[in-house]
Structure 1
Amino acid sequence: MNDRLTTREAAELLGVKPATVYAYISRGQLSSRRDPVGRGSTLDAAEVAALARRNRREAAAPAGELSVRTALTLIEPDRYWYRGVDAVELAGRYAYEEVAEWLWTGRPPRGARFTAPPELLAAARRAVRALPEHSGPVDRLRVATAAAAVADPLRHDLSEEAVLGSARALIPTLVGALPPAAERPDGTEHGDGDGEDDGPLAGRLWTRLTARPADPSAVAVLDLALGLLVDHDLAASTLAVRVAASARAHPYAAVSAGLGALEGPLHGAAGRLAHRMLRDVLDQGGAAPVVAEHLRAGRRVPGLGHRLYSGEDPRAGALFARLAELDTAAPALAAARDVVAVTARQGRGLHANVDLALAVLTVSCGMPAEAGETVFAVARTAGWVAHALEEYGERPLRMRPSGRYTGPRPPQPLP
C-alpha cells in the first residue's frame, strides 16, 4: 500500500462515498495534506486502514454491544470536557452560541449570534399557537421543530454546511416560537415585534420563561446553564438522535427524536420535579418534612445523585457558584443546600446534580416549574445536532441491534 491515498482511493478502501471521507477529515478522524505535485489532497494510508479496521469491528460486533465513537464530550469522575476543553471553564467564558459553535466546528467565534429566518419563525409560531393552552414546553418545541422542517425546503441536505445552517436557524426559531411570558404596557407581546433576534439567545429565552425584567446578572446565569447543558455524551435523548441520524433522517427529524426521549421524568423533566420540591421546602420552612414525605412515598428525592459522578455534578457546582452572587437566589439556594444536608444525615451519600441547580435558578427568577425542561431542551439541541453530524459521517443504519426473541417457539397453531 502507498503511504498516501487520494480521496477516491480512501473512499474505496472504507466502502463509503468521497463526501463521507471529507466528513471524517472535518471531524478529525482522518488527516489530509495538499498534494504538492498533483491537485487535491492526500490521506495517510495507515490512518485510513486503521479506520477501516475499526469500522469492520463495529459492523461485526454482537448485538447489544454497540460502541459509539465520538469526539465531542468526555466525562470523567468529577468533570467533563467539550472537544478536550474543560466544559465548565468554556461555558463560563463564552456565550451559549459560541459554545455551540465550538462543539460543532472546534472554533468559538466571538459574538456569534443565531437568527431565526422569518419564514421558519412564522410557520413555527402558527403551529404552536394552534396547540391547547395546557400544552407543555416539549410539546411546543416538538411542534415548532416539525413546522420549521416543513418550511425548510433544503432540510434533506445532509452536508455539514447545510446541517449547521439548519441548526443556526432552528435554535432561535424554537425560542421565538415559545409564547412570551409577559405583555408590554401597550398590550403587545414581548418578542413578537421587529428586532427580537438582537442580542444573545439567553436574553431572548429569558422573556419566554419569566415576566420579570431581564436582570443582566440573572440572564448571565441562564446563559451559563445553556452552555453547561449543550452536551453530556450519550444520554438517552442523544442516543435517540444518533439512531435517527443513522437512518439518515434530516436534522429536524433527528432533533424531534431527541425531544421525544427528553420528556421522560428521568431525563429532561427531572428539573420540574426538583423545582416543585424546592417550592415545598420554602413553603414549609425546611427540607426535613419534604424529604421525609418523598421517602415515605417511596419516591427518590429529586435533584440528587448522578450515575456518572461520584461527587457533586460539576454543572451544579458551577451554577451554584454563580447563583450565590444573586441576592434573589439566596432563599432557593439555601433550600437546596438544606435538601442536600438532610439527605446526607440520612447516610444516603447523594450529591446535588444539575436538576437541583436549575431548580434554584427557575424558582429564584419567578419561572414556572417546566422552565428547567425548556432550558434543557433548547440547550441540548446544539449537542444533538453535533451528534447527528458525527453520525452522518458513519456507516448508515449501523444502529441496528438484533432482538432476542422470547416468545413461543414456532410453529404455533393459527389463531
Structure 2
Amino acid sequence: MRDQQPAPGRPGRRLSTKETAEVLGVKPETVYAYVSRGQLSSTREPGGRGSTFDAKEVEALARRNRRETSMSSGSGGELSVRTRITLIDKDRYYFRGVDATELAAHHSYEEVAEWLWTGRMRPGVTFTAPEAAVAVARRAVDALPEHTAPIDRLRVGAIAAAAEDPLRFDLSEEAVLGTARVLIPTLVAALPPQPYAHHHDEGPLARRLWGRLTGHEADEASLRALDTALALLVDHDLAASTLAVRVAASARAHAYAAVSAGLGVIEGPLHGAASGLAHRMLLDVLERGTAVPVIADELRAGRRIPGLGHRLYPGEDPRARALFALMERVPRAEPALLAARDIVATTARHTPLHANVDLALAVLTVSSGMPATAGETVFAIARTAGWIAHALEEYGERPLRMRPSGHYVGPRPPQALPE
C-alpha cells in the first residue's frame, strides 16, 4: 500500500481502487458496490483515470467487516448474518424498511422483486426470457419422467438455463440482475402446462404461472391472490434455503448455482413442502366435514399440525393474514376458508396456535383445483427473487466468509491404523 499525495482540501492518504480492494479483500468491482450502497465515498481526481478513496474510511470499513463478520454467534447460540434486506419484528416483516404486506398489497411480484434487489421501484415492470433460454430449459425438463416433482423440474430448468448463458460467471451487480430477470420467467416457462389450461407466455408472471398450476379458468380475484402470495413469499430473512444460497454465493458460485442450492434445500417437509402437507389436511377436512377427526389422527400419529404456528411470530403470521383477506374475495374459496378456520378453532381448544402462510397457501391451492405440490412451486418461484437479493448482498462481502469451524468431538489422535 503506497502513500498518495492528498487531494486539495481533502487531507489524508488516498488509495486507488486496486489498493482499496486489497485492503477490503474484495474484487475491484465490489468496491463500487460499497460506494453505491453508501458504505464508502470516492473522489475522481482532476486529470486522473479512476477514483480514489480515503484510507481511514477504507480501513474503518475493513475493521467493521471483520468485527461484524461474516458470521457471528448470536443469542441462544444461533448464527447471525448482517443483511439489509428483510427485518422480522413483532409479528410484522419489512423489505428494506418498508412493510412487506403493504408492498404486496400495492405492487406486483415483479415490482416487489425489483425493490428487494435495488431499493428502487419500477412500476409496471415485467420479466421476460429469451426464446433460446426457454427452449433449452423446456427440452431438459420435458426429458424428465412424467411423475417428476415440480421442484426437480425447476432445478433442472435452472441448470439448463445456466448452461445456455456464457456470461453466468460475471458476478457484477448489473450482470446478476440481468440473470435474475431472465431466470425467473424461464423457470415458469419450463414448467409443463396443466391439461385444459389456457397458458400464457406473456404478461404478469402470476398469469403465466397460473396455467402451470391448474386447468381451472383464472378469475381476477384468484390471480390477484396468486400474485400477492408470490410477493409475500419473496423473502423471509435467513430461512434454511436462503442460508444455503448465501453459502454458495460466499464461495462465488454464479447466480444459477446459488439458486440451485436454494432449490435443493427448499424441498424439505419443514420448509417449502409444508404447504403440501397443509393442502392434503385441508382436503381431508373437506371430505370428512369436520376438523375434529383429522386433527385427532394427526396428533395420534405424533405429527405436528401443518399450517399452524411459526417460530418467528408469537401471533398470526402476517403473510397468512394478508392472503386470507384476499381469499375471502374469491367465491369458490369459501369451503376451503371455512375448513381452515375449523382447523385453527379445533386446535385452539388445547393449544392456541395461529395460522401460518402454509395454511393460507393451501386455501389458495385447494380452492383453485391445484395439486398438493402447487404451494411448493409458488414458494420456490417467489423465493428465487429473494435468493438473488441475498446472493447479490453476499457477493459484496468478503469471499468464503461462510466458513464456520467444526467442533471436533471424535476420538483424539493419534489412533492406530484400522486393520
TM-score (norm. length: structure 1): 0.92
Partner of 1:102: 115
Q: Does residue 182 of the first structure (1) align with residue 186 of the second (2)?
A: no
Could you tell me which amino acid in structure 1 is paired with residue 60 of structure 2? A
Q: CA offset at residue 216 of structure 1?
A: 1.2
* Residue equivalent to 2:166: 153
Is the CA contact (8 Å cut-off) linking 2:73 and 2:80 kept in structure 1? Answer: no
Give the CA deviation at 1:43.
5.2
Secondary structure of the 1:135 match is coil
Q: Structure 1 CA distance, aligned partners of 2:73 and 2:289?
A: 54
Rounded to whole Å, the distance in 2 between the matches of 1:129 and 1:6 is 51
Tell me the equivalent position of 2:6.
none
Amino acid at match of 2:65: N
Determine helix, strand or coil for the equivalent of 2:80: coil
Match of 2:24 in 1: 14
* Equivalent-residue separation in structure 1 for 2:330 and 2:307 (angstroms): 21
Which of 132, 145, 157 lines up with 2:145 in the alignment?
132
What residue number does 2:413 align with?
410
Deviation at residue 6 of structure 1 after TM alignment: 5.5
1:292 aligns to 2:301 (yes or no): no
| Residue deviations 1:5-45 (CA, integer Å, cap 9, x gap) | 6645543432333211112223x251436558566656566
Q: Does the C-alpha gap of structure 1 residues 117 and 76 become closer, same or farther in structure 2, counting only changes over 3 Å?
A: same
Aligned partner of 2:41 in structure 1 is 32
Whether contact under 8 Å (1:276, 1:369) holds in the other structure is yes
Count of matched residue pairs:
404
- 1-side partners of 2:196 and 2:292: how far apart? 39
Amino acid at match of 2:177: L
One-letter code of the match for 1:299?
A: R
> Residue deviations 1:49-99, cap 9 Å, x none?
432112222269689875311110011021000011110000110100110
Change beyond 3 A, Cα 1:3–1:362: farther
5 Å-filtered alignment, 1:197-216, equals: 197-216=201-220
Which SS does the other structure have where 1:351 is aligned? coil
Give the match for residue 187 of structure 1.
none
Which residue number corresponds to residue 365 of structure 2? Answer: 362
C-alpha separation between the residues in 2 aligned to 1:68 and 1:375? 26
Question: CA offsets, 1:166-189, max 9 Å, x none?
Answer: 1111100100010101247xxxxx
Q: Relative to 1, partners in 2 of residues 1:305 and 1:29: Cα closer, same or farther, differing over 3 Å?
A: farther
Equivalent position to 2:58, from 48, 55, 58: 48
* 1:412 positional shift: 2.0
Instruction: Tell me the CA shift for residue 217 of structure 1.
Output: 1.1
Q: Secondary structure at the match of 2:154?
A: helix
* Partner residue in 1 for 2:343: 339
1:396 matches 2:399: yes
1:276 aligns with 2:280: yes
Letter aligned with residue 238 of structure 1? T
Provide the C-alpha distance between the structure 1 equivalents of 2:324 and 2:171, rounded to a whole number of angstroms.
39
Q: 3-state DSSP class of the match of 1:80?
A: strand
Question: Does the 8 A contact of 2:194 with 2:215 survive in 1?
Answer: yes
210-219 vs 5-14, which moves further: 5-14
Q: Is the CA contact 2:96–2:116 (under 8 Å) kept in the aligned structure 1?
A: yes
Superposition RMSD in Å:
2.1
Q: 1:75 is paired with a residue of what secondary structure?
A: strand
Partner-residue secondary structure (3-state), 1:133: coil
Give the Cα–Cα distance (whole angstroms) in 1 for the partners of residues 378 and 109 of structure 2.
Answer: 12
What amino acid does structure 2 have at the position aligned with 1:370?
A: T
Alignment map for 1:72-91 (pairs within 5 Å):
72-91=85-104
CA deviation profile, 1:177-202 (whole Å, cap 9, x unmatched): 10101247xxxxx54xxxx4321000
Q: Which amino acid aligns with 1:20?
A: T
- Aligned residue in 2 for 1:352: 355
Alignment of 1:295-314 (within 5 A): 295-314=299-318
- CA deviation after TM superposition for structure 1 residue 48, in Å: 3.4
User: Aligned match of 1:222 in 217, 223, 226?
Assistant: 226
User: Secondary structure in 1 aligned to 2:124?
Assistant: coil
Residue 24 of structure 2 contacts residue 398 of structure 2 at CA under 8 Å; is this kept in 1?
A: no
Kept after mapping to 2: 8 A contact 1:30/1:47: no
**Partners of 2:267 and 2:273 within 8 A in 1:** yes
Deviation string for 1:251-277 (max 9, x for gaps)? 000000000000000000000000000
Q: CA deviation at 1:410?
A: 2.0
Q: Contact 2:71–2:79 at 8 Å: present in 1 too?
A: no
1:324 match: 328
Counterpart residue number, 2:381: 378
Distance 1:16 1:202 in 2: 38
Question: What amino acid maps onto 2:245 in structure 1?
Answer: V
CA distance 1:34–1:197, change in 2 (3 Å)? farther
User: Which 5+ residue runs of structure 1 have no aligned equivalent?
Assistant: 185-189
- Decide whether the 8 Å contact of 2:72 with 2:81 is kept in 1: no
Counterpart of 1:205, as a letter, is L
Which of these residues, 72, 81, 102, is aligned with residue 68 of structure 1? 81
Quick one: distance in 1 between partners of 2:84 and 2:55? 21
> Is the 1:124–1:144 Cα contact (8 Å) retained in structure 2?
yes
5+ residue gaps in structure 2? 1-10
2-structure distance, mates of 1:43, 1:197: 47
* In 2: Cα distance, 1:360 partner to 1:61 partner: 39
Residue 182 of structure 2 corresponds to 169
